[in-house]
C-alpha cells in the first residue's frame, strides 16, 4: 500500500496566519460588549483547585487567541488577547498563584492586544525547546519500553461516509492497559478518503490522516507529567498540539510521506507507540502486537484501500 498520501485540510485549529486588522477587531469586540464564544484548546487547574487556566480561540473571523485564568466560581481574573490562535501553548502552574505560559522557541509569541488582570495570579511567559515526535521516538528506544500483553489491548473500527469531502472517514481506535506507570494509553487515527486534486493514472483517491494520543492517570496517583508529543514507530509527524484538560492528550497529523509510513507500520507484526513528556524529561515506548487487534485493524486497512501515487 505504497504511494503518496496527500494530507486533507483538517479543521481543528493548526497555527493560523496573523490576520490584518485583528488589533482593531479585538478592541471593537470589547467596545461592543459582545462576548464571543471560546473554543478551549487546553486547560489546567491550579494545585489548590482554586483556578483554571485556559488557552482558547474566539468564534470570530478575527482569529483571536486568549490566555485566561478564572476562579472555579466562574469569574475571570486574568485575560490576555493575541492577534492569532495559539493552539501549541502549554500552561504550567508553578504554585497556586503563579502560572507559566510556555510557547515553542520556534514560534515566538505575538504582542498582546488586550490585557486585564486583578493581580490574584501572576502570569509569566517563557519558551520551550520543541523535541519533534520522531526525535522523541529515537530517545524512547533507549528509555523505558513496555511490550503490551495482547490481552490488555482492545481496538475498534468505524467508518463514516459523506456526500462531500472527504468521501469517507476510516477510524481506528486503540486502548491498552499499561499496568506499569499509567492506568491506560489510547490513540485514535482518522483517515479521510477524498478525491485527489490531480488524479493519478492508477488511482484517484488520496488520504488525510489526523491523530489523537492520550494517557491515563498515574497508578501511584501522583500528578501526571505533561504529555508534549507522541507518534508511532519513529514516524516524523505533527503530533504536538495539547488537547483537553490536564495535558494528558496530544493531537496532530501524519503529513504526506509520514501518512504513508503510518499505514505501512500498521501492517507489520508489531508497531510502537512513543510518548514524550515534559519536553524530553521522560520518554516511554509501548510495543503493540498487531495480532491483538487483527480484526479491527484489518477493517481499517481495507477501508483505507489503495491510494494514489
Q: Is residue 14 domain-resident?
A: no
Instruction: Tell me, yes or no, whether 145 and 280 share the same domain.
Output: yes
Q: Show the DSSP H helices in 88-228 as ranges.
A: 133-140
Instruction: Tell me, yes or no, whether 180 and 220 share the same domain.
Output: yes
Residue 8, pLDDT score:
32
Residue 1, pLDDT score:
40
Instruction: Tell me, yes or no, whether 146 and 113 share the same domain.
Output: no
Full residue range of the structural domain in which residue 101 is found? 22-128
For the chain, the domain total comes to: 2
Residue 199, pLDDT score:
58
A 10 A CB-CB count for 210 gives 23
Instruction: Tell me, yes or no, whether 143 and 273 share the same domain.
Output: yes
Residue 204, pLDDT score:
67
Residue 280, pLDDT score:
79
Q: Is residue 15 domain-resident?
A: no
Q: Give the global pTM.
A: 0.80
Last residue of a domain, one of 79, 100, 128: 128
Last residue of a domain, one of 109, 128, 147: 128
Taking 50 as the pLDDT cut, the residues of the chain under it are: 1-32, 201, 308-309
Q: Is residue 3 domain-resident?
A: no
- Give tens-digit pLDDT for 242-287: 998 999 999 999 987 888 899 999 999 999 998 989 887 888 889 9
Instruction: Tell me, yes or no, whether 227 and 259 share the same domain.
Output: yes
Residue 15, pLDDT score:
28
Residue 301, pLDDT score:
94
Last residue of a domain, one of 86, 109, 128: 128
- Quote the cell numbers at residue 8: 486533507
What are the contacts of 155-163 at 24+ separation with CB within 8 A? 155/292, 155/293, 155/296, 155/297, 156/296, 157/295, 157/296, 157/297, 157/299, 157/300, 157/303, 159/299, 159/303
Residue 27, pLDDT score:
40
Residue 203, pLDDT score:
60
Residue 33, pLDDT score:
52
Q: Is residue 8 domain-resident?
A: no
Residue 40, pLDDT score:
93
Amino acid at each position: 500500500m505504497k504511494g503518496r498520501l496527500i494530507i486533507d485540510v483538517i479543521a481543528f485549529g493548526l497555527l493560523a496566519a496573523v490576520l490584518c486588522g485583528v488589533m482593531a477587531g479585538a478592541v471593537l469586540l470589547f467596545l461592543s460588549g459582545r462576548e464571543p464564544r471560546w473554543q478551549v484548546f487546553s486547560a489546567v487547574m491550579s494545585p489548590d483547585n482554586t483556578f483554571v487556566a485556559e488557552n482558547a480561540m474566539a468564534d470570530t473571523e478575527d482569529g483571536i487567541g486568549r490566555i485566561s485564568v478564572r476562579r472555579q466560581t466562574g469569574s475571570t481574573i486574568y485575560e490576555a488577547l493575541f492577534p492569532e490562535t495559539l493552539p501549541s501553548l502549554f500552561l504550567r502552574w508553578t504554585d497556586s498563584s503563579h502560572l507559566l505560559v510556555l510557547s515553542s522557541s520556534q514560534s515566538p509569541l505575538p504582542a498582546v492586544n488586550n490585557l486585564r488582570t486583578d493581580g490574584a495570579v501572576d502570569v509569566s511567559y517563557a519558551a520551550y525547546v520543541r523535541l519533534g515526535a520522531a526525535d522523541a521516538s529515537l530517545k524512547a528506544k533507549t528509555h523505558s519500553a513496555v511490550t503490551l500483553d495482547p490481552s490488555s489491548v482492545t481496538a475498534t473500527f468505524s467508518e463514516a461516509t459523506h456526500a462531500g469531502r472527504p468521501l469517507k472517514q476510516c477510524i481506528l481506535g486503540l486502548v491498552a492497559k499499561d499496568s506499569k506507570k499509567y492506568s491506560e494509553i489510547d490513540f485514535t487515527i482518522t483517515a479521510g478518503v477524498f478525491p485527489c486534486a490531480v488524479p493519478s493514472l492508477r488511482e484517484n483517491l488520496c488520504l488525510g490522516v489526523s491523530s489523537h494520543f492520550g494517557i491515563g492517570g498515574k497508578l501511584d496517583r501522583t500528578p501526571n507529567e505533561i504529555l508534549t508529543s507522541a507518534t508511532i514507530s519513529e514516524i516524523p509527524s505533527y503530533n504536538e498540539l495539547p488537547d483537553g484538560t490536564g495535558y494528558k492528550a496530544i493531537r496532530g497529523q501524519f503529513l504526506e510521506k509520514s501518512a504513508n509510513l503510518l499505514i505501512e507500520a500498521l501492517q507489520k507484526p508489531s508497531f510502537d507507540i512513543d510518548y514524550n513528556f515534559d519536553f524530553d524529561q521522560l520518554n516511554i515506548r509501548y510495543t503493540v502486537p498487531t495480532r491483538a487487534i487483527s480484526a479491527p485493524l484489518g477493517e481499517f486497512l481495507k477501508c483505507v484501500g489503495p491510494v494514489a501515487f
